[in-house]
Amino acid sequence: MDELTQRLASGNHPVIVGALDPSVEDLKLRLEEIGRLSIKFTDTEGGTDLPISVDRGACDLDSADFDQSRGTVHIEGTLTLNEDPVRCIADIDLATLSGTGRLVPVVKSAARD
């Protein structure tokens, strides 16, 4: 496993919604319709912006009030980081578009004959 992958998989890290001009409206659109968004881990050198494919079934938007920019969203999605398949898990505060996140390595099952 790559060193960066290993580091981001150990505990929670500060994250932000990764976009040039992030907004609650854009986050909602990406979660509900587009299915792709970026989460940026800010405690790496220069930050690590990861494009994830959203797993809508694993996300929780029940505590979110997108119209008032309040509450939190629980986001999960998949990506490959430096050849390591991982799941990104993040909890984002809508007021600040920041929160905490971590990576979880995805274990591929062995192919059967």
Domain that holds residue 92: 3-102
> How confident is the model at residue 31, as a pLDDT?
97
Task: Answer whether residue 62 is part of any domain.
Answer: yes
pLDDT digits (tens, 9 = 90+) for 7-49: 999 999 999 998 788 999 999 999 999 999 999 999 999 999 9
- Using a pLDDT cut of 70, give the percent of the chain over it: 96
Task: Answer whether residue 110 is part of any domain.
Answer: no
Task: Answer whether residue 80 is part of any domain.
Answer: yes
Token reading at 14: 């500060």
Q: Which residues have C-beta within 8 Å of that of residue 15, sequence separation ≥ 6?
A: 39, 40, 41, 42, 90, 92, 98, 99, 100, 101
Task: Answer whether residue 65 is part of any domain.
Answer: yes
Please determine, for residue 91, whether its predicted confidence score (pLDDT) is greater than 80.
Answer: yes
Domain count, the chain: 1
CA distance 31 to 61: 9
Task: Answer whether residue 111 is part of any domain.
Answer: no
CATH of the domain at 51: 2.40.250.10
